Every structure is written in structure tokens, then in C-alpha cells.
Amino acid sequence: MTDTVARSARRDFLPYSPPLIGEDEIREVVDTLRSPWITTGPKTKRFEEEFAAALGSPGALALNSCTAAMHVALACLEIGPGDEVITTPLTFAATVNVIEHVGARPVLVDVEPDTLNIDPERVAAAMTPRTRAIMPVHYAGHPVERDTLDALARANQVTMIEDAAHALPARFRGRPIGADANPVAFSFYATKNLTTAEGGMLTGDPEFLDRARVMALHGMSRDAWKRYEKGGSWRYDIVAPGFKYNLTDIASAIGLCQLRKLERFHTRRQEIAAAYTAAFEVDEALEPPVQRAHVDHAWHLYVLRLRPHALRIGRDQFVDELSKRNIGTSVHFIPVHVHPYYRDKYGYARADFPVAYSNFERLLSLPLHPGLTDQDVSDVIDAVLDVVQTHRR
């Protein structure tokens, strides 16, 4: 197929990851707008309860982002200056930014070559008396080796805070991510497996979440619903210098509908991922993502890796070629240690985390969302294989 023919194979541009919002969500939002509560109120409470029930979580706190969930968790653990938090360089900057926000030092360790998740052996080697928490990221939706990391955290008397922005509804050894008592932060950003446009959830021990709930709303002893509902009192105390991280009932209305559709959405993501892998695993130029036998992958991302020895072009040109063929893509992620702030503050070099950096140079994320039709999936496969064929060594 010539480049001209390839470009005309798909006439309209296929966006990388748009949200899938239906009439149910629209009706639920309208119902909220017509109610007395549009900020945090009864629908947010329902969303928390239904989310916790769906995962078997001890408790859940709805917040305005996954970033907020991680920040609140660190603050409630009183992690601060002089403390260290171990995490991965292959993540969005928010994971590391929140460690900086509380004044602690982020300690980066490299990732596993297959899953691109944080390497437990390297975590063990990085532990010091100053370590207060381990913050693993379930990269792309593939769970980390959480039993090993949990055992390591317990042995060193530190807390594991899971960045589960990609991990709904992933399972590790049959148990949902978020079902345990340690803090776990989820994202409901527009591209996520469940969206509230902007939003997040923190799951964990109910007593811990009680403290987090106070910190998430200015450190107030009573939230607005408790103050303004019938029988409520206008009085409140500021018991800590908290944040403004609450989720609104408008956002929760969307979340309630999305939660009911999550299983169907997940099934479609699995089908798309399986179709991609079947098409790409036979080509020496392409390395599909892995799924270990003891996990259920959330398939938030389909991260395809190029094998440079088989191609005459690199990742950046490969992305450009797909765009010419009307296929949207993304890259997850630019490693933390090459961003100027972290590079300059901590003196990192690109080679400090060779697994993360070498994989970053050859990875791209393909469209993966439940709104993709079979024809869309076929178009993506055809475009990828055409670029490979056109630029094969």
C-alpha cells in the first residue's frame, strides 16, 4: 500500500481516547441540576458507597482528582521534610509532584522490562531509615506485584499508597485493586475507564478516610451537607490546614452511571486489546504489552513498543505516520527524571533509569476505549501494519 493510499484509507481522524457519555449520564446530571444539591451531597455519598461495594473496599472518599487522593493520603500520614517516598520514573508527573508538595523527597527506582511496573527488587534496595511510603503505579492497568511490595512495606513499617489511576477494574490474584485497607488512589479523568470529567477516589481503612475527608475540605470538622441539611448546625471547627479537594454531585452523577457500565466497558476494552495483540504479536517489528497469568489487566492503555532493529524510523516518526493515516495516539509517559524540574533538582541523567528511558523511546499508546467500532479497530491495525511495512529495514 502506498503512503497516498494509506492516508486515504480512513477519511476521518480517529481520536485517541474520547469519553463515552450517553443519555443516562445526561439525564442524571440534569436531575442533579434540578435538585437542591449540585456540590458535594447525596449523590456523592451514593457514588462513594457504590464504588466501595463494587470493589469490596473497606471505604471510599470521592475527590476532585487522583492527584488530590494521593496528596491527601501523604498529608494524613504526616509525611514531610526529611522523609522519602519510593516511586517509579515511568508515570505522569502528578505521582511525584504530590511528594514534592508535602516536602518529602521522591526516590525513583527503575521498572520491570516486561510490565514497565516498578521493580520490587529495586524498591527493596532503595529502602532507607528515611523511607515512609512506597507509591507504586499500576502502569497501563497491569497490576504491580503488590503482594511483594506489601510484604516489603510491612517489614519496613512503611505505608503502600497505590497510584491506581489506570487500574479500574484490575485484579491481582483475583482480588480487585482497591479492596485492601491501604490507601489506593483512582482517577476519573476524561480519558479513564470510568470518567466524571475530572475526579478521583481514595479507598482504604474507614478511620484513615475519616481523617482524609476532613483534610480534603479545608480541615473543617463538618462539610456543607452536614451543616445545611435539615437538623444540621452552622458551627464548624478548622482542625487542620486542609485542602479544597471535594467532588461535586454533578460529577458524581456521571460517575454513578459510568460505574453501572464499567463491566461492559471493560469487556470491550479486553476485546480490542486481544484484537491488537493477535495482529501485532507475529510481526518482529512490534512488541505488544504483556499480561501476567495471575492478574486481570484493566486495559486502560494499549502500549505498543517498537523494535528499533526492525524499522528505519523511530517512535516519533512512527506517531507522525499514524497521524497522517488519521489515527490518534499518545505516549505514556515522558519519564519523570528527564523533566527539567526533577532533572535539575536531583541531578538525574537519562541513563540513571535505563529500563524506563529505553522503553520510553520506543513506546506509543494506541486508541483504546469502548466507543471503538470493529471498523475503527481494523483501521488502527491496518495503519500500524502499513507503517511497519513501509518503513521496515
SS3 per residue for 312-334: CCCHHHHHHHHHHCCECCECCCC
- Are residue 234 and residue 269 in the same domain, yes or no? no
CA distances from 170 to 125, 165, 176, 185 (A): 27, 11, 6, 13
Q: Which residue has the cell 513498543?
A: 305
CA distance 347 to 340: 10
Q: CATH no. for residue 106?
A: 3.40.640.10
Domain membership of residue 5 (yes or no) is no
- Are residue 290 and residue 192 in the same domain, yes or no? no
- Are residue 277 and residue 236 in the same domain, yes or no? no
* pLDDT mean values, one per 10 residues, the chain (393 residues): 53 97 98 96 97 98 98 98 98 98 98 98 98 99 98 98 99 98 99 98 98 95 62 81 97 98 98 98 98 98 98 98 98 98 98 98 98 98 98 97
- Are residue 145 and residue 291 in the same domain, yes or no? no
Nearest alpha-carbon partner for 141 in 117, 114, 173, 175: 117
Q: Model's pTM, two decimal places?
A: 0.96
Name the grid cell of 319: 506517531
Eight-class DSSP state of 49: H
Eight-class DSSP state of 115: T
Task: Evaluate whether 158 touches 131 at the Cβ level (below 8 Å).
Answer: yes
Whether omega for the bond prior to residue 333 falls within 30 degrees of 0, making it cis, is yes
Please identify, among 203, 223, 258, the residue that sits at the C-terminal boundary of a domain: 258
- Are residue 165 and residue 270 in the same domain, yes or no? no
- Are residue 254 and residue 272 in the same domain, yes or no? no
- Per the residue annotation, which of 43, 45, 192, 261 is the catalytic one? 192
Domain membership of residue 98 (yes or no) is yes
- Are residue 166 and residue 281 in the same domain, yes or no? no
Please identify, among 258, 276, 299, the residue that sits at the C-terminal boundary of a domain: 258
Torsion over CA of 170, 172, 177 and 178, rounded to 10 degrees?
160
Domain membership of residue 17 (yes or no) is no
Strands 171-172 and 175-176: antiparallel
Domain membership of residue 10 (yes or no) is no
* Enclosing domain of residue 371: 262-390
CA distance 60 to 58: 7
Domain membership of residue 9 (yes or no) is no
DSSP β-bridge partners for residue 302: 366
- Are residue 120 and residue 254 in the same domain, yes or no? yes
Q: Is 192 considered catalytic here? A: yes
- Are residue 223 and residue 314 in the same domain, yes or no? no
CA distance 112 to 355: 7
Q: CATH no. for residue 302?
A: 3.90.1150.10
Domain membership of residue 306 (yes or no) is yes
Domain membership of residue 152 (yes or no) is yes
CA distance 87 to 241: 26
- Are residue 363 and residue 375 in the same domain, yes or no? yes
DSSP for 119-141 reads -HHHHHHH--TTEEEEE-B-GGG
pLDDT confidence of residue 7: 46
CA distance 229 to 245: 21
- Are residue 220 and residue 359 in the same domain, yes or no? no
Please identify, among 214, 237, 258, the residue that sits at the C-terminal boundary of a domain: 258
Domain membership of residue 1 (yes or no) is no
Torsion over CA of 201, 143, 178 and 90, rounded to 10 degrees?
-30
Number of domains in the chain: 2
Contacts of 201 (CB under 8 A, 6+ apart): 48, 51, 60, 61, 62, 63, 69, 185, 186, 188
Task: Evaluate whether 111 touches 144 at the Cβ level (below 8 Å).
Answer: no
